[in-house]
Amino acid sequence: MTGGGWWHDEVVQLALEVVRLALWVVTVVGCRSAAQPSAPLVVPPPPALAAPGDHALERFAAAHRPSRLDEVARVAAGAAGTSYVVSAVAVKAAMATALGSGVWPHVLTGWGTDDEIAAQLEAGLAEPRAVTELAEIGFATAGGRAGHVGVIVAVPPPSLPLTVERTGSTARLKLAWIWGDDAAVYAVTPTTSRRLAATRTGDQIELAVDCADPTAIEIRAGTRVIATVVDACAPELATGELPPALDLGPPAHTLIEIEMRVWALINRERVASGVAAIAWDAASHLFARVHAADMARFRYVGHQASDGASYRERVARAPFRAAATHENVGHAWGPGEVHEAFLRSAGHRANLLAADVDRGAVGVAVDPGDPSAFYVSEFFRQ
């Protein structure tokens, strides 16, 4: 199967200058595990999960220092607990209220029991911390018809003054600049990104946005995301306005955030289609990440591994047993479009809506030939 999408990687290099869309060819896979072969699957160890009754979430909450971002996390958790997906609109409004900022935070989610949530959040935090210092972290939990969810919201330092001035059909953004690297500015949509011109004068950068074609703006210094402004041209949200029906969640800055975002979209679609939501599973996450990494290393998209192992053989040599499994694989530039592309394909849609599975995960790996893209494996099992 081949695939196309938009952006992102572990170091978040958002440098697409031309719209790139690729043909998706449907491959449907739903099989039962085969006999265990002699060759084992060599994989890195999975994140350590808290033991049952370890009260990991209580310890996590007790160690958390109160933050202005706690309210943002509460808003995000409330949205996720209601509809699975963290609402980008709600996070934007909460960030404006709590910090007076248009900067997008890292947003991590964990689902399940208290111990499962704590394990997912602790493991997820390792990736943002690997690419940036986190100056402030917000934390909250919520429950709703979508289940029990924990959310972390985090922002990197420093909190920079960012101003937006509107003149006619143009919005002019000004941002203090303290980095040695020149600013790289991109206009980002759910399917593309394009480079914008920015002017640096001393310790400040300035750019103009055409409000006839409003987009989110991402500002970078080297590989670091410094600020993201969501539609500088938009009027203030009306009080109590609900998120749009097709809200795909806030931007994902790291691999784990991409995976969590896609997973939330999968469960939202399952429930909307009358199928039960499924649980995030650490063993499935490892299985999916290993295959995504194999595809990235050898530059292919498919279910057969680079060593010639078929899909059935890959499942058979995995460190778990499954009565039924399904997998979607592809190559993409962003969580929103990869999900929409799978939904537009009858075979992929059937896999992610399969009724004979109860757990799974999403795994992604950076495309070494295009750091703004990634390879993805969605794996579901029972």
pTM for this model (two decimals): 0.66
Interatomic CA distance for residues 314 and 296, integer angstroms: 17
Q: What is the pLDDT of residue 348?
A: 96
| pLDDT-derived band at 226, boundaries 50, 70, 90 | low
Secondary structure of the chain as H, E, C letters:
CCCCCCCCCCCCCCCCCCCCCCCCCCCCCEECCCCCCCCCCCCCCCCCCCCCCCCHHHHHHHHCCCCCHHHHHHHHHHHHHHHCCCCHHHHHHHHHHHHCCCCCCEEEEEECCHHHHHHHHHHHHHHHHHHCCCCEEEEEEEEECCEEEEEEEEECCCCCCEEEEEECCEEEEEEECCCCCCEEEEEECCCCEEEECCEEECCEEEEEEECCCCCEEEEEECCEEEEEECCCCCCCCCCCCCCCCCCCCCCCCCHHHHHHHHHHHHHHHHHHCCCCCCEECHHHHHHHHHHHHHHHHHCCCCCCCCCCCCHHHHHHCCCCCCCCEEEEEEEECCHHHHHHHHHHCHHHHHHHCCCCCCEEEEEEEEECCEEEEEEEEEEEEC
Asked whether the beta carbons of 135 and 155 are under 8 A apart, the reply is yes
> pLDDT tens digits, residue range 293-342?
999 999 999 999 999 999 999 999 999 999 999 999 999 888 887 898 89
Predicted confidence (pLDDT) at residue 171 exceeds the cutoff of 70: yes
* pLDDT higher than threshold 90 for residue 13: no
Q: Answer yes or no: is pLDDT of 234 > 70.
A: no
- CB of 345 closer than 8 Å to CB of 24: yes
132 pLDDT exceeds 90? no
Q: Which residue has the higher pLDDT, 167 or 108?
A: 108
> Which pLDDT belongs to residue 152?
96
Residue 235 has pLDDT above 70, yes or no: no
Nearest to 332 by CA among 289, 304, 360, 365: 365
> Between 245 and 161, whose confidence is greater?
161
pLDDT of 332? 86
Reply yes or no on whether the pLDDT at 169 is more than 90.
Answer: no
pLDDT of residue 24: 28
User: Does 55 or 86 have the greater pLDDT score?
Assistant: 86
Average pLDDT in the chain = 78
Structure tokens at 262: 């896609």
pLDDT above 70: residue 23: no
Residues 261 and 247: their CA atoms lie apart, in Å, by 11
Residue 175 pLDDT grade (very low, low, confident, very high; cuts 50, 70, 90): confident
So what's the pLDDT on residue 222?
76
Structure confidence at residue 57 as a pLDDT band (50, 70, 90): confident
- Looking at the chain, the whole-number percentage of residues with pLDDT higher than 90 is 43
Query: Who wins on pLDDT, 248 or 229?
Result: 229
CA distance 382 to 370: 34
Q: What average pLDDT does this structure show over 132-158?
A: 87
Using CB atoms within 10 Å of the CB of residue 253, give its burial: 0 to 12 exposed, 13 to 18 middle, 19+ buried.
buried
Neighbours of 317 (CB within 10 A): 19
Q: What is the pLDDT of residue 30?
A: 34
So what's the pLDDT on residue 202?
83
**Is it the case that residue 126 has pLDDT exceeding 60?**
yes
Least confident of 90-99, 189-198, 199-208: 189-198
Tell whether the model's pLDDT for residue 9 goes beyond 50. Answer: no
Distance, in Å, from the CA atom of 237 to the CA atom of 221, rounded to the nearest integer, reads 30
pLDDT of residue 300: 96
Q: Does 28 score more than 90 pLDDT?
A: no
Residue range 16-44: mean pLDDT, rounded: 30
Q: Any idea which residue has 């404006």 for tokens?
A: 96
Per-residue b or e along 3-36, where b marks 16 or more CB atoms closer than 10 Å to that residue's CB: bbbbbbbbbbbbebeeeeeeebeebebbbebeee
Which of the pair, 243 or 333, is modelled with greater confidence?
Answer: 333
Per-residue pLDDT at 43: 36
pLDDT tens-digit series, residues 66-110:
988 999 999 999 999 999 999 888 898 898 888 776 677 899 999
